Amino acid sequence: MSDIKFGTDGWRALMSDSFNTENVKKIAQAIADYLNEDAVGTVPTQLAGGQSPKVFIGYDTRQNSDTFAKACADVLAANNIKVFLPERAIPTPITAFAIKDMSLSGAIMITASHNPPQYNGIKFIPFYAGPATEDITKAIEKNLNVTRDPYVGLRPPRDDKNVLTKEDKYSVIPSERSDEESPVTSTIDPIPAYKKHLEDLIDTGLLRESKLKVLASPMFGAAHGIFSDILKDYGCEVEAIDDEADPNFGGLTPEPIPKNLGSTIQKLKSNSYDIALVLDGDADRFGVFDSNALFIQANHVLALIADYLVSIRKLKGSLVRSVATTHFLDVIAQSNGLKAHETPVGFKYVGQIMREEPVVLGGEESAGLSVLNHIPEKDGILAGLLLAEITAYYGKPLGEVLEELFKKYQRRFITRRLDLELSMDAKEALMRKLKTEPAGEIAGLKVTETIDIDGVKFILEEGSWLLARPSGTEPIVRIYLEADSPSKLDKLEKYATALLDATE
């Protein structure tokens, strides 16, 4: 089991390879052991005094996700853990919110998020309703390699009908048990409570008055039938597309970027909408087009929402972003007398700060965000609703609002990401060189600061920056660039590609 490693958002693998029911059950057992042992002291204090842990299990619309979820339920139930297993696919943000709403020990989410349909994944969301921190994932990984007594902590069999199976690495009790003491509840519906909570975060009155015409696409994912209903509840005129469950996501990767949004773009060409909102496979990421069919990149979405919450809603707190995310957020924070935080890549780092202090907005360039008074987890549904609210408030296309924002803060922010292939050896050599022989000048601009919290990032004298960050599993170096003009971006890209060519 040593090949199973929890990355920034759980473990993901090909379903034709290592992601199978056997491995999912072993991971579920490791999570059960963690919850029952409280290995690193992070199970909520209300579980003290002999109470059994309680866990919600969410899953997306991928092939066999419901089967994998049921397998997890079987294992957790055999370990004296109360399980809530919904009858339909549930988005990641709603799964996380269920933890908070129901005061649970945590949740398991079966999803590979925005990855291609042949992948699946599993992650554990702790009691605080945000991504698991490294100490928790390490404890779970450690449990994967521990030989255990297969009957430790199990419910005793009630009769011949409910005899426990004996396995080497996990224990199972059938989740179909119909007796009154069944540890698995399948009638739970977390959606109404989540909808009610959204009313505390969104100006629903403004949306109802504006009667926006919205094109909504959950990309055949877990938010099918949910996202469009929420928008309708708030008075929007909604046309929903790709709004049913499809394990193959229409033959595309469920990532809300233009190359995957052909059906949305086609609709935009032939119809008039105030805004088009798209969600990824588990609805934790967002995509948006304005009424002019302009796709607004995630970095600019973060700035639009941050400025709106600070300037119009008058919310107080810090702004948090990953090291790969636009510095536009820093400028907004500084101009409004707020703190700005920079974290490594991974929403768990953003979420950790959200748990420690008031945060108006925490976000990542990969289209993930959360806001003040919400869960410390990415929420694409919330992001879409906030974008609809901003469109209603200004009464103009988001692209025009963005241009006004550039003028307001007296600087344009343009970003670009390059995924450049390098052999594993060349990748390691490049990162070693950048750390030991940092550049003093890039594209004719002086380097004023070098940051190495995740990869190597060079800050240039007039505010441009370049980040080189290696993939942990692939022979790829990701280069993130930001400048105030396309010509400067081109120069930074030329520098980066020349550097990689020299390494090879």
Query: Which residue, 296, 256, 275, is CA-closest to 403?
Result: 296
Cα angle value 380/263/405 (rounded, 5°): 50
Helices 92-102 and 191-198 pack at an angle, to 10 degrees, of 90
Instruction: Please state the rounded mean pLDDT for residues 248-256.
Output: 96
Using DSSP's 3-state secondary structure scheme, residue 50 falls into coil
Closest C-alpha to 221, from 6, 24, 383, 65: 65
Residue 50: pLDDT above 80? Answer: no
Are 124 and 95 a contacting pair, CB within 8 Å? Answer: no
Range scoring the smallest mean pLDDT among 104-113, 143-152, 454-463: 143-152
* Contact indicator for 91, 284 with CB cutoff of 8 Å: yes
**441-442 sheet: strands from edge to edge:** 414-421, 476-483, 465-470, 456-460, 445-451, 441-442
Least confident of 99-108, 128-137, 143-152, 326-335: 143-152
With 50 as the cut, is the pLDDT of residue 374 above it?
yes
Q: 48-62, 229-243, 423-437: which range is least confident on average?
A: 48-62
Q: Please give the Cα distance from 305 to 380 (Å, whole number).
A: 13
Q: Which two tokens stand for residue 213?
A: 């015409």
Interacting residues of 487 by C-beta distance below 8 A, sequence separation 6+: none
More confident residue, 62 or 175: 62
Rounded Cα–Cα distance for residues 110 and 89 (Å): 10
**Residue 132 confidence (pLDDT) above 90:** yes
Cα–Cα dist 463/447, whole Å: 10
User: Is the confidence at residue 427, as pLDDT, over 70?
Assistant: yes
CA-based Rg of the chain, rounded to a whole angstrom?
Answer: 23
pLDDT-derived band at 474, boundaries 50, 70, 90: confident
pLDDT at 10: 82
> Scanning the structure block, which residue is given the tokens 């050599």?
429
- Examine the pLDDT at 47 and tell me if it is beyond 70: no
Closest CA relative to residue 214, chosen from 285, 121, 289, 303: 289
Distance CA 156, CA 164 (A): 8
- Count Cβ neighbours within 10 Å for each residue of 383-420 and write b for 16 or more, e otherwise: bbbbbbbbbbbeeebbbebbeebbeebeeebbbbebeb
Report the mean per-residue pLDDT for the chain.
Answer: 90
Mean pLDDT across 261-268: 96
Higher-confidence residue of 160 and 140: namely 140
| Count of CB atoms situated within 10 Å of the CB of 144 | 21
Say which amino acid occupies 296. I
Residue 38: pLDDT band with limits 50, 70, 90: low
| Chain centroid to CA 290 | 23
Above 60 in pLDDT, residue 180? Answer: no
CA angle 403-329-453, nearest 5°?
140
Work out the pLDDT band at 6, boundaries 50, 70, 90: confident
Residue 275, both tokens: 């805004």
Q: If you average pLDDT over residues 157-161, what whole number do you get?
A: 40
Report how far residue 160's alpha carbon sits from residue 443's, in angstroms, rounded to the nearest whole number: 75
What is the per-residue DSSP string for 333-372?
HHHTT--EEEE-SSHHHHHHHHHHS-EEEEEETTTEEEET
CA atoms of 383 and 256, how far apart (whole Å): 13
Instruction: Set out the domains of the chain in order of their start, with CATH numbers.
Output: 11-189 (3.40.120.10), 199-408 (3.40.120.10), 414-503 (3.30.310.50)
Q: Cβ(154)–Cβ(49) under 8 Å?
A: no
Distance CA 290, CA 396 (A): 9
Is pLDDT of 193 > 70? yes
Predicted confidence at residue 396, as pLDDT, reads 97
